[in-house]
Amino acid sequence: MSFWKKKDNLIISGLVVLFFMGLTFWFDLCCVRASFFDSISSNGFQIPFVDSDQKQHTLDQFKGKPLIVNFWATWCPVCVKKMGTLNNFAKKFQEKGGEVLAISQDKGGLSTIRSYYTRNGYQNLAIYLDASGKLMSAFGVRGLPTTLFIDAQGNEVDRIVGGFDWESSDANALVEKNFGIRLSQ
């Protein structure tokens, strides 16, 4: 093989390696982490997110009660379509001792979420923001919306990926199955 053929092969191979290294860096090593570690980080419950007053919270603070964590964003069409049913569901679930956290992934900040809530009249859901996406990543969430069901001991017991009608009988059945709480009485 001539020198120039070897040189071309080396250049192409080097560019391919650089491309994949750059891709790994771009995705913050999420693919590498997912390959070698559990998808749920044991520290996921300690990753901070903020409320509408920019006060930091962690999921650890909500242990002791059934918890539904919905990862969503205002730019996600499916999230926006189902948010009204989640708002209505939250009132019923919270009356039974549970907690619903709708944690936005919006990069636009709290003002974007505040205006969205005001426009739609959402009063049963507190505003939470995880603009870094670290919390979502720690739980292996790959798309929006994704909802986690976390029991009082802090264990994920179920997960819904994609849109879900929170006013349906399926929602009531999931709450009863995962938490032993009957919403429709």
pLDDT band at residue 15 using 50, 70 and 90 as cut-offs: confident
pTM for the model stands at 0.78
Supply 163's token pair.
């849109």
Residue 73 has pLDDT above 90, yes or no: yes
Q: To which residue do tokens 């939470």 refer?
A: 128
pLDDT tens per residue, range 56-69? 999 999 999 999 99
Q: Which helix (H) or strand (E) holds 7?
A: helix 3-26
Supply 135's token pair.
């919390």
Across 160-166, average pLDDT: 96
Q: 141 exposed, middle or buried (CB, 10 Å; 0-12, 13-18, 19+)?
A: buried
Question: CA 82, 86, 90: angle at the middle one, nearest 5?
Answer: 175
In the chain, where the domains are located: 3-36, 44-179
Instruction: Give the per-residue pLDDT at 76.
Output: 96
* CA atoms of 127 and 165, how far apart (whole Å): 20
pLDDT tens per residue, range 111-140? 999 999 999 999 999 999 999 999 999 999
Query: Considering the chain, what is the average pLDDT of its residues?
Result: 88
Instruction: Give the per-residue pLDDT at 19.
Output: 79
pLDDT band at residue 10 using 50, 70 and 90 as cut-offs: confident
Instruction: For residue 132, count other CB atoms closer than 10 A to its CB.
Output: 14
Out of 3.40.30.10, 3.40.47.10, 3.40.50.300, 3.40.930.10, which CATH number does the structure's domain 44-179 have? 3.40.30.10
